[in-house]
Chains A and B, each alone.
Chain A
């Protein structure tokens, strides 16, 4: 019951408000103009496409760096101490905004011009722990006898990884992908600080609209994003749902 009240207050109600605002004009009359405006607004559409592109690139980057990192961390022979794992997770203890500001400052000091490269670097740095952790967990709880059974049946170490370890760790990878992809699609702070607003992401546009008191259009954009994220979750997650939650534990 307390959970239900919490759900209504902090999830259902805000969502309803978004829908309500998105379907009204400034005067409070019901309209679909906010939605149609987005689909005819070339700038908004291209920003949205760019956001998706950056999010996909960042997610791929995180998988490419995060998987080997998680693999090394989870291997008792390669990593003997639990402290190393904490070191990887430690940056999460610091406020993301502060980390991003510090990163931007480092780029300035080094004289590296801010742009898409620095944006991806910052995003990857911010979200890497969210990729590493679920994969690490998945690998760590994996029964070693699977790898041994594969070896016993004639698989070389490379084949053991391709045919057993990798497929069995996919739930962790999917869960990491969700945790990295969803927030990066909607982020605005990172792009603001790490590109000096040179690159605008979808989140930035929503924020600008709301800052300029254009609540209704902002809400409509939020709604569009929500639906699209929801759809990708369904597409990716579909039959993985059960295992994804397993990967998070």
Chain B
């Protein structure tokens, strides 16, 4: 790719592990000069690690951090032209506000009168002008936050890194600071790289959002792109409320889900292909016109949420959907509903079944996920490398490990309208995806049971693992 002079930072195939835990897995992205970029994801997704690699606290195991065209993997933090606002501010407790802010300039041996001028200017920028002599520990969280920003800005960095800077503030304060940060970014014109797990914050502040999960980039785009056109179930579920459903692309611009057919605007999936469908709760409309009605449903709950009402409805085909509307419908009401083609987001299925690289261990025995399973091995000999396929609904979860083949923890739960789609991470670090009607909680310890007849073996495709 040609080196664009508008690009200030580029991450090129970065991987990083701590011990045997892979925190970043082949991360590549670029950040434009003056952009407000947010790394968004749940805790442990690798967003803070990415920020620390850019700041210089740690080196990537593989790949390069490139700033203004130069690889800076080995440049120590104190020589990088960027500054950080730390999560817990990290203001020096032995220095007052003035000395905290002046810290960077004093290191550069800037003349005292110039330091004073610049400290005054930057404190004014963060509205902390009269606090110069205050002890930092006597300041409120919001004030400490402002001082931390002033301290980072005084070195006139080209990039400002912010590591969940608003996480410790209360809701009201957080909203105010969001607006101020956005204004500051506009006024200064420098690049902001922001880390947060708060999707609303990311949507409010950013020019570009990088959604991350389990060390991988899920999607990069503008807030509107990410919200309206999530590329997979994780993004759809993490950003905003959504109805995520199994569907089937019948042909271009025609999709079936909840056992009804709808017009949509998506093309290029092929004919009769399994897909996932996302419909935002505010995009399902009520109608009194039978001609407009696409499907019927019965309201089963209705809750006032401040601006809108949140309703759960049972469709005539047995699916549960969330709808947000300004007008409430009483519980038990039969309603007619429709969805605009524009508002249906069709996503390629990431996987259709669990597949594992396995090894035949003898007659009727196969090993994968570090465990031996019984299954039909007809046609394979001991020692053969095979692929084991198990359908999502064929995996049984138990609340004890006595009869289980393997154990793991539930790491994520998606409600798919009429069943739950769970991601279970096993002790061997493998993922098992499960469709179930049972209710589990995130973090639950589960036993995994797979019946011999539900494991299908096949020859590995050439070139694959």
Interface positions of B from 33 to 72, Cβ below 8 Å from A: 55-57
The answer on a CB contact under 8 Å between B107 and A154 is yes
Most buried by A among B78, B86, B152: B78
Chain A residues whose CB sits within 8 angstroms of the CB of B57 once the complex forms: 148, 151
Chain B residues whose CB sits within 8 angstroms of the CB of A154 once the complex forms: 78, 104, 107-108, 155
The answer on a CB contact under 8 Å between A149 and B84 is yes
The answer on a CB contact under 8 Å between A168 and B103 is no
Min CB gap B48→A, angstroms: 12
Chain A residues whose CB sits within 8 angstroms of the CB of B107 once the complex forms: 153-155, 159, 163
> Is B370 at the interface (CB under 8 A from chain A)?
no
Chain A residues whose CB sits within 8 angstroms of the CB of B94 once the complex forms: 167-168
Interface positions of A from 136 to 160, Cβ below 8 Å from B: 143, 145-146, 148-156, 159
Chain B residues whose CB sits within 8 angstroms of the CB of A151 once the complex forms: 56-57, 76-78
> Which residue of chain B is the closest to A160 with respect to CB atoms?
B78
- B151-167 interface mask toward A, CB cutoff 8 Å, 1 = contact, 0 = none? 11001000000000000
> Which residue of chain B is the closest to A144 with respect to CB atoms?
B90
A143 CA / B76 CA spacing, docked (Å): 20
> Is B88 at the interface (CB under 8 A from chain A)?
yes
A153 CA / B90 CA spacing, docked (Å): 12
Grouping DSSP codes into helix (H, G, I), strand (E, B) and loop, the A interface class, with mixed when no group exceeds half, is: helix
> Is B92 at the interface (CB under 8 A from chain A)?
yes
> Is A101 at the interface (CB under 8 A from chain B)?
no
Instruction: Count contacts on A: residues with CB < 8 A to the other chain.
Output: 17
Contact of B78 among A143, A156, A163 (CB under 8 A): A156
Chain A residues whose CB sits within 8 angstroms of the CB of B104 once the complex forms: 153-154
The answer on a CB contact under 8 Å between A145 and B155 is no
> Is B443 at the interface (CB under 8 A from chain A)?
no
The answer on a CB contact under 8 Å between A149 and B90 is yes
Min CB gap A145→B, angstroms: 4
- B65-103 interface mask toward A, CB cutoff 8 Å, 1 = contact, 0 = none? 000000000001110000110111011111000000001
The answer on a CB contact under 8 Å between B90 and A146 is yes
> Which residue of chain B is the closest to A166 with respect to CB atoms?
B94
The answer on a CB contact under 8 Å between A152 and B88 is no
A146 CA / B86 CA spacing, docked (Å): 9
> Which residue of chain A is the closest to B104 with respect to CB atoms?
A153
A149 CA / B94 CA spacing, docked (Å): 14
Chain A residues whose CB sits within 8 angstroms of the CB of B56 once the complex forms: 151-152
> Is A96 at the interface (CB under 8 A from chain B)?
no
Min CB gap A33→B, angstroms: 49
Chain A residues whose CB sits within 8 angstroms of the CB of B90 once the complex forms: 143, 145-146, 148-149
A146-B92, A168-B93 are known contacts. Are A153 and B86 too (CB-CB below 8 A)? no
Most buried by B among A143, A154, A163, A164: A154
A148 CA / B57 CA spacing, docked (Å): 8
A155 CA / B155 CA spacing, docked (Å): 12
A145-B86, A153-B103, A155-B107 are known contacts. Are A164 and B78 too (CB-CB below 8 A)? no
Residues of B within 8 A of A (CB): 55-57, 76-78, 83-84, 86-88, 90-94, 103-104, 107-108, 151-152, 155
Known contacts A143-B90, A153-B83; 10 additional CB pairs below 8 A are A148-B84, A149-B92, A151-B76, A152-B77, A152-B83, A152-B84, A153-B78, A153-B104, A153-B152, A168-B94
Name 6 A/B residue pairs within 8 A (Cβ), A-sorted: A148-B77, A148-B86, A152-B55, A152-B77, A152-B78, A152-B152
* Closest A-B pairs by Cβ, 3 of them: A145-B90, A153-B104, A149-B90
